[in-house]
Structures are given as structure tokens and as C-alpha cells.
Amino acid sequence: MNGLFDLPDRCLRCGFCLNSCPVYKDLREEIISPRGKLRQIKALSNNEVVSDKLILKVMNNCLMCGACLKNCPSSLETPAAIQKLREQLFEKYGHDLLKRGMKFIMNNNRARKLSAFWARVVYNNFIDSLPFSVPAGALSLKDIPKLARPLYPVKLKNNGSKKVFYFAGCVDKYIYGDTARSAVRVLNKLGYDVMVSKDERCCGIPMLISGDTKAIIKNAKHNVDLMRRQYFDYIVFTCPTCAVAFKEKYYGIFSEDEVYTKKLEALESKFIEITQLLAKEKGLRSLLNELPLKVTYHDPCHMVNSLNAVKEPRIVISMIPGLQYIEMNPEKTANCCGSGGFYHIYFPDISSGIGKGKIEMIRETRAETVLTSCPACKMQINGLLRKAGSSVRVMHIVELLNQRMK
């Protein structure tokens, strides 16, 4: 941690992080800016009198989107410093009741499956009859669409085609099953032999960024071993945050475990977000029917700031005949929707404020459909649009591809 505590001394105070931080741009308060957080970390390292409650609130008030690092001329690892301090604060204070419950569900496949089942049954059957609004973070329950049936396991056909291990992730597997089924069908149509494992576990990112690193070690090891049981050409993700867990975060978790670090390194070249794979498929265009539709695209933070996947989603969108594409984001930088995992639950007003800016950008395009490549962004944007009375649809790119497949 000592090296991370030295980051404030290397800060140029240029303000690039301020212009890129969604939270700062909404609140305009220096203390919650990336460089403000670095100052708090420095004060703590110098044993200055700093309230633990203040530090906890300031460090939690971060989307962990990575924009500060992406735009820092000194490449300061501010998100890593915030993460380390969150880990220290977790050791001291632990989780609240909500996160303890989520930790149990995420670390237990049976609980995850059962909770998703009952959430789907209760929500889908009773939400329309609720006479009042129930808050759900930055949204209300009525702003969230009804839950699709989950994605069931898929076995390899072993037909000689390139083999894909599809890691669906919690949201696309249990909430947005239509996205996951679309991914499987599109990959099958392109000739890939796809496997979906019943033993896949949560990647653990929500707990990791909450400071509870130890809680996800078991899941991380299980997932890595699961992917190594047989040969796969690609390990594909429809959730960029899950992809970041495997491509970046797991190295920190395995930093003192040489065996699993080597296992992860052996898999690294196979990890790929689905649009990064589809953009290479020259034959995709010929499989798609024409669609006269006006669309725009939302860049998820992890796609841009961590995976550097900016051009690939746009290449895939351009392959759909007849689409009229309107660029919402000419700079092609991540422009956060305000979701951020648990963030929209603990900071609903700020999350809504950030999200309203995104809704205005969408309205200015006059698009009929917003495409994205992140399930959390899809939920947030869809909810905020419905809250604003808009009928604009929000879809994962693979859903639209699946609908237009011949």
C-alpha cells in the first residue's frame, strides 16, 4: 500500500481526472474527485486526523469506472488506491446487511438460482398491480422490465467447429436471459460450437470493488478451473465487467498464488468480449436481414476504459443492413450512465443525476433504439428512459443481431 500512498505526490493537479469523472461532473465537489480522494489517502497515510466515516463515504462515492486512470497523463493508479483503501475499511467495518445478503447469493449457485427464480415469479406476476412506487436505487421497481427466463446449460456438439466457452454472468444468465440466448444463437449461426456450463459462478466483481477480496477467491479459482477442463478457442463474455474480472482483477486476487496466476495467464489470450469477436467475422453481414431503424450506441465504462473496445461495437452495428446509425458520442469516450454496480443503490440521487445527462444525449439523437454491450447499463438506461416517459427501446447488440438473423 505504501506505493499507492505515494500517488498524491505524483499528481500534476492538471484536472484531467475532474473532466472525466462522472461523479465530480455531477456534484462539482473537490473532495469526491479522483485527486480529492488521493489527498484523503495521503492524509490518512500521514496519520492526520481524518474521520473514518468521512473516508468511508468518500471512497464509496466512486463508480470505479476507470475514467480517471484512462485520462491521467501520469497514469496514476487512482482506482487501485481507492480499492486498497476499501479493502482496509472492509476489514475494519465489514459489510452492511444488504451486501452480506448479496455476498451469500453470489457465492452460492443454488441460492443464486433460487433467488432469481422467486424474483422472476413474484416480480413478473405482481409488479403491475402495485398501487405505489417502490424505490430500487436510482430507479423504481416499475421502471425495471419483467424478467426473462434464465439461460439453461448448453453442451458442446464436438462437431469440429471452433469451441467457445460462453460465460454469461449473473445478469444475462438469470435476468436478461434473452441476451444470453441471442449470444448463443448468433455464435452458432457463425459456426461456433458453444458451451454454457451449469457450474459457472459469479465473477465476484461486486464484492471485490466493495473491498471484500477474500470472498471471491473461491469463485475465481472455480471459474478458472472450469474453463481449463477442456480446450476452448475462445472464452466469450456479453458482460464487459465480467471480462474485466478475468482479464484484470483476478491477477490481483492471485498475486500471492503462483499456481493460479499461471493458470490465468494460460487462458488470457482466449478471453474476449463478444463484439470484439463478432467484429472479426466478415461473414456476419450476409447472415442478417435488412432493418430500417434509427439507432445509437451507449459506450459502457468498462468497454472503453478497461477493454479498449470502442470501434468493435460500431463495426458490428454497421454490419446490419438498413440501419441508420446516429453517433451519440463523437469523442468515443465512456460517458457513464450512473449504474456502477452497487453505486446506484447507495447513491441514488447522484446516479440519477448522472443518468439524466445520458438520457438527454439519447434524446438529442432522436434514435428509436439504444444499443449497448453491458447488461447493467441496459437496465439503468432502460429504467431512466421509462421513468422519463420515453418509449425508446434499449437492447444489447447481440439481441438485435439475433432478431435479424436469416
- Domain membership of residue 127 (yes or no) is no
Confidence of residue 4 (pLDDT cuts 50, 70, 90): low
Q: What percent of the chain has pLDDT over 90?
A: 80
Q: Which of 33, 66, 93 is the last residue of a domain?
A: 93
Q: Give the pLDDT of residue 155.
A: 95
- Domain membership of residue 270 (yes or no) is no
- Domain membership of residue 299 (yes or no) is yes
Q: What percent of the chain has pLDDT over 70?
A: 99
Q: Which of 62, 93, 124 is the last residue of a domain?
A: 93
pLDDT tens digits, 29-69 = 999 999 999 988 888 888 886 788 888 899 999 999 999 99
pLDDT tens digits, 186-237 = 999 999 999 999 999 999 999 999 999 999 999 999 999 999 999 999 999 9
Q: Give the pLDDT of residue 2.
A: 52
Residue 128 has pLDDT above 90, yes or no: no
Q: What's the mean per-residue pLDDT of the chain? A: 93
Q: Which three-class secondary structure string do you get for the chain?
A: CHHHHCHHHHCCCCCHHHHHCHHHHHHCCHHHCHHHHHHHHHHHHCCCCCCHHHHHHHHHCCCCCCHHHHHCCCCCCHHHHHHHHHHHHHHHHCCCHHHHHHHHHHCCHHHHHHHHHHHHHHHHHHHHHCCCCCEECCEEHHHCCCCCCCCCCECCCCCCCCEEEEECHHHHHHCCHHHHHHHHHHHHHCCCEEEECCCCCCCCHHHHCCCCHHHHHHHHHHHHHHHCCCCCCEEEECCHHHHHHHHHHHHHHCCCCHHHHHHHHHHHHHEEEHHHHHCCCCCCHHHECCCCCEEEECCCHHHHHCCCCCHHHHHHHHCCCCCEECCCCCCCCCCCCCCCCCHHHHCHHHHHHHHHHHHHHHHHHCCCEEEECCHHHHHHHHHHHHHCCCCCEEEEHHHHHHHCEC
- Domain membership of residue 56 (yes or no) is yes
Q: Give the pLDDT of residue 206.
A: 92
Q: Does this model's pTM top 0.75?
A: yes
Q: Could you tell me the residue range of the domain that residue 27 belongs to?
A: 2-93
Q: Give the pLDDT of residue 198.
A: 95
Question: What value does the mean pLDDT take over residues 1-24?
Answer: 83
Q: Which of 65, 93, 121 is the last residue of a domain?
A: 93
Confidence of residue 342 (pLDDT cuts 50, 70, 90): confident
Residue 352 has pLDDT above 60, yes or no: yes
Q: Give the pLDDT of residue 146.
A: 86
Domain count for the chain: 2
Residue 398 has pLDDT above 60, yes or no: yes
